[in-house]
Structure 1
Amino acid sequence: MSDHVRLLCMRHAESENVTARAAGALPHARLTPRGHEQAAEAARRLAGEGITHVYTSTAVRARQTAGIIGHALGLDGVVPLEGLTEMHAGRLEGSADPAVRVRMLETLRSWIVDGDLDAAAGDGEDGHAVTARTVAALTSIAAGHPGGTVAVVGHVASLTAGLNALCGLGARVWGAPLPHAAPFLVEWDGRSWRCEAWPG
């Protein structure tokens, strides 16, 4: 059997924390009506890809997105992984202060563009923590599906950090944040990772 694995990754569909412009992991934020439509559209785009499993962050918005996709593809259920959750903001969790959003973006830029994983927004997670857990989750998924195709639903910062470590995205993706529920292909060939397309 081939070691080649296809991961069709995406950020969750639009959710309440996004429309409220709230910062952080916010595990209980739910999809908006528009988010439900976006998830259904993602499912239509993924039909025919041969997806056998859907993996998701444990956050409600990601699980809802994954559930809509899994149901549409006729799969029995989705697999939640804690490692795919969004970056935690510590005491800044849930803040809608524009200055906090700027700090979060500056932190992510430090990780992706400058390679400074020591950076953190306040007492939130640093880049080492977010990258390590996301890489571990993606690596585990790939190891479990040699020759297969799976879908992965995550978050903009944690997916970007993890895939930056695996694929060396760097500055070429900065300024192009992942849109909601837009699947893109990530591949593992048994030796290296490839992220040829970036939908942002």
Structure 2
Amino acid sequence: MILPIFITFSLLITSSYANSIEFDYCVADPTLPHGPTGYSCKDPTKATADDFAYSGLRTPGNTSSMFKSGVSLAFVAQFPGLNGLGISMVRADMAVGGAVPLHTHRVAELIVVIEGTIIAGFIDTNNTAFYKTLEKGDLFVIPPTLEHFQVNVGKVPAAVYASFGSANPGVQAVSNSLFQTDLPTEIVQKITLLDRAQIKKLKMMFGGTN
């Protein structure tokens, strides 16, 4: 358990960061302005050990969603000590038959299965699907920006940890982008070839309008 997680983080701490470091740390202060380079730094004299510890991945995520999965984030917004370090992590839990639906991030992702049996995969820009059945302890890497997914294909709940080479890798789910927004149904029809009734049903399920 510990070794795969240690390897996951080690791979994401790049030599370029180590060679360019000018401060010991830059704990995020969400009350100050932030931009493309990250959050502004908290006054270092006010930093505490709590800024560098996070317990949000201890417990399984809520799998009562429509996809029977739940994701717990350890991005910079939840874990201020990550600011500027170029690393972050999530925990994804899937009930039996559950899935983490198609989504993307700005950076590469490395997952390690901690419980159960899943299929993990991504689709490249040539529309080639790469997917693999993974067991506890297995790893799978997903290149930046590509649509990817995980599906629990086992007989027990499954869980994975995923690490990223960014403190704020972002996430965009395909289904949410289409059906949780105010993008007009007529446009969704044109770009998906779904019928109007199905789109309206999905917008109702996801909370979208128009």
TM-score exceeds 0.5: no
Higher strand residue share:
2
TM-score range relative to shorter protein: under 0.3
TM-score, normalised with respect to structure 1: 0.26
More helix by share: 1
Greater relative CO, 1 or 2 (CA 8 Å, sep 6+): 1
